[in-house]
Structures are given as C-alpha cells and as structure tokens.
Structure 1
C-alpha cells in the first residue's frame, strides 16, 4: 500500500466535511422572506371553496365566495388568540410584502368580523381571487397563510 492510497479515505472525509459545512452556511445565510410577528402553524393553509378555478360566473349578478381554512382558527380583528386570524380576499392583485399591514381597498377586502364567506359582484372579464390570513392587526402570520390564486371569468 503506498502513501497516496493510505490517506485517500481521510482526504475524502475532509472534503465531504468541508462540503457539508459549506452547505450548512449557505442554508443559514440564505435570504428569508419577511413575515409578521404572529406565529401560525407550519401546516396551516387557506383555500377558496367556491367558486372553482376556471369557473365562469354570470355578469351583473353577485356571487358567493366561500373561504376555507385548515389547522388554524378564525377570530375577529382585534382578538389575539394563538393560531387564529381573519380572512382577507385579494381581487386582481398579487400578494404584498408579508411584514406589512394588508391594505383595505377594493382589491383587498377585509373580513375582520370573522366571516367565512361573502357575496361580491365583479365586472365582466377575467379576474383572480386569493385569500390571505391576517392577525389581529391585519398583518400576515409567520409563516404566511394564504390560498392558491384562482382565476374566474365573469360573462
């Protein structure tokens, strides 16, 4: 056995250890998305129960939007209770920075009384809907709890 082959396993372990250490540093220093101060269960998620993605709804007539939530509870605005929040319906907009208060306007509807459904009317065209949970101060949780964005058509 020559010197080179005798040190090969030790050299391989050193290279593996260095690569593992470099990967760990990368994970620790990777940028983390900002979120609000209120914790949420890691497995919590929101969803839109109705309407369905791709559905066409009649114009000039209000329709129901039903909010779903799993592994978390609904509480009115101002009520600070662990693992709870209230719904916000985002219409035709993208998610915002997750460490800021959710605005209240025609594209960001607040349901601070703890509502789990609403009636809305939209003009003809293609629209997107998405739910975002907010804490007692309308700030997204950490991690943020939101639904998939769905697309609906009003004709």
Structure 2
C-alpha cells in the first residue's frame, strides 16, 4: 500500500513538472539545429517566460524578437543594431521569412525590450542551418 502512495505521489509530481512547460527563454518553433533548408526560410519564433509586445516602451517581462544572421547573442543591455544581419521584429511578429545564401549559416534568436536592448544570453538561442543550393 505504501508503494502505491509513493508511486501516486511521483505521478502527481511528474504531471506538475510537465504542466509547467518548457524553461524560460526563446526558441525556434519550426527549425532545429543542423536542419537543411531552402534559401527562403520561414522562421517561427517562440518565447517562454515573457510576453511579446511591439517595440516602443520598456515593460517588465515583455519584449520582442530579433534574428541575428551569422552572429551570436548580444550582451544584456546592448542595443541591437538594425541592419542586414540584425533583423528587428518590433511590431511583435512571431513569424518571418528570411533569405539566405547557399551554405552553412547560424541564426540567433534574441529577445529584447521595447527599445531594442538585449535581454542577454539567457534570452537567446543559436542554431545552425544548411541552405541547399
């Protein structure tokens, strides 16, 4: 009988942990590290632990996505530049299409506050994709 109580407790704990979902941070919804893709890439962006909102104001626990092509995460507080390799999604987008040349590329998903200041490494995710010719 005691075994069943302990076993039942383990099941309840497992269900609670499972219900809590993924750990905090950003993630690629539809891409995996090392995936082969075409030159036109649909990127679906996700976040756990913060809320997506358009750029403009700094609100605790909120921000928006950026994709950094062939570069790593930005340090906490650094302003993310807007150029051909640092793409801003300041309207609160969670999906975008990007164009990549053939070959290997890194994609870094970086979450930032309303004035494009990075939330740092903990709120970034880098993967490598292989663009087929």
Cα displacement string for residues 58-99 of structure 1 (whole angstroms, at most 9, x for unaligned residues): 24xx22001010011001000333210000101101223332
Which residue does 1:46 correspond to in 2? 26
The DSSP-based 3-state class of the residue aligned with 2:124 is coil
**Gaps in structure 1 of 5+ consecutive residues:** 1-42
- Separation in 1 of the partners of 2:26 and 2:38? 25
- Equivalence for 1:57: 37
- Distance, in Å, in 1 between the alignment partners of 2:79 and 2:120 is 13
Deviation at 1:120, TM superposition (A): 0.9
Number of residue equivalences: 110
Does 2:127 correspond to 1:150?
yes
- After superposition, the CA RMSD in angstroms is 1.7
TM-score (norm 1): 0.65
Cα 1:44–1:74 change in 2 (3 A) is same
If you compute each CA radius of gyration, which structure gives the higher value, 1 or 2? Answer: 1
Gaps of 5+ in 2: 1-22
- Separation of aligned partners in 1, 2:123 and 2:53: 14
Q: TM-score, normalised by structure 2?
A: 0.75
Deviations 1:20-75 (A, max 9, x none): xxxxxxxxxxxxxxxxxxxxxxx63001112221111124xx22001010011001
